[in-house]
Amino acid sequence: MPERGKFIVFEGLDGSGKGTQISALRDHIRSTGAEAYFTAEPTISSTGGMIRDALGGHLRRDAYELSALFLADRIFHNVNPINGIRQYIEKGIDVVCDRYYYSSFAYQGIEADLDWVMKMNLGCNEILKPDLCIFLDIDISTGEKRISENRFDREIYENVEAQRRIRKRFFEVFDRIMENENIKIVDASRTVPEVSADIIKIYNELKEK
């Protein structure tokens, strides 16, 4: 049996620069000749489509309903036989995922009962626990500036008040689960090369373990 691949998740507020940093990590991994599968949540499944409609504000969904849709999408993301996370990890291929259950805790956890959202995700055997979560931390005003520069339309959570509550929730959740999870908080208000140098260091440490 091959050694299991590493499962790496990126998290952060909207406008935290995840996309840019994930591309930088992809370039780094490619330059080493290693193989990795890059993916994101919500996925492109039909459930992902329903989620995107709700995020775009086209269809109003209750926070519990949205939590359940993210959960269903995440289970599919893990187990589907075509490009599910599990099969890559089991084949020894690393997986890098843009958002995962930490986002459900922080985003849906500002409206739905946080304990319920956590129990549904952490208690589900089909949902793999990441080997590493990199949280790109920015302050609310930096995020707001980046959102206003880069977006035509805003999604339901892309407003200052929601982002402030979501950031607070992320840190409350990290405090609660830090002992059982490998969470690294990176100051993402710095320049792109500074942030990506830190991420590559964290990635290399994980690979050396």
Q: Residue number with the shortest CB distance to ligand TMP?
A: 107
Q: Which listed residue (14, 94, 137, 181) binds ligand TMP by CB under 6 A? A: 14
Q: Which listed residue (65, 111, 155, 172) binds ligand TMP by CB under 6 A? A: 155
Helices (H) and strands (E) in the chain, counts: 9, 5
Tokens at 181, concatenated: 């999870």
Does the footprint of ligand TMP cover residue 16 (CB under 6 A)? Answer: no
Does the footprint of ligand TMP cover residue 99 (CB under 6 A)? Answer: yes
Helix-helix angle 160-177:140-150, to 10 degrees: 130
Q: With respect to ligand TMP, which residue has the nearer C-beta, 29 or 55?
A: 55
Least Å from the CB of residue 34 to ligand TMP:
25
Map the footprint of ligand TMP across residues 156-195, applying CB under 6 A. Answer: 157
Does the footprint of ligand TMP cover residue 41 (CB under 6 A)? Answer: yes
Q: What is the DSSP pairing of strand 183-187 with strand 7-12? A: unpaired
Tell me how far apart the alpha carbons of residues 24 and 92 are, in angstroms, rounded to a whole number.
22
Map the footprint of ligand TMP across residues 100-139, applying CB under 6 A. Answer: 103-104, 107-108
For residue 206, CA distances in Å to 131, 133, 140, 183 come to 8, 11, 29, 12
Tokens at 18, concatenated: 């995840």
Least Å from the CB of residue 1 to ligand TMP:
30
- Whether a cis peptide bond, with omega within 30° of 0, leads into 42 is yes
Q: Which positions touch ligand TMP (CB under 6 A)?
A: 14, 41-42, 55, 70, 99, 103-104, 107-108, 155, 157
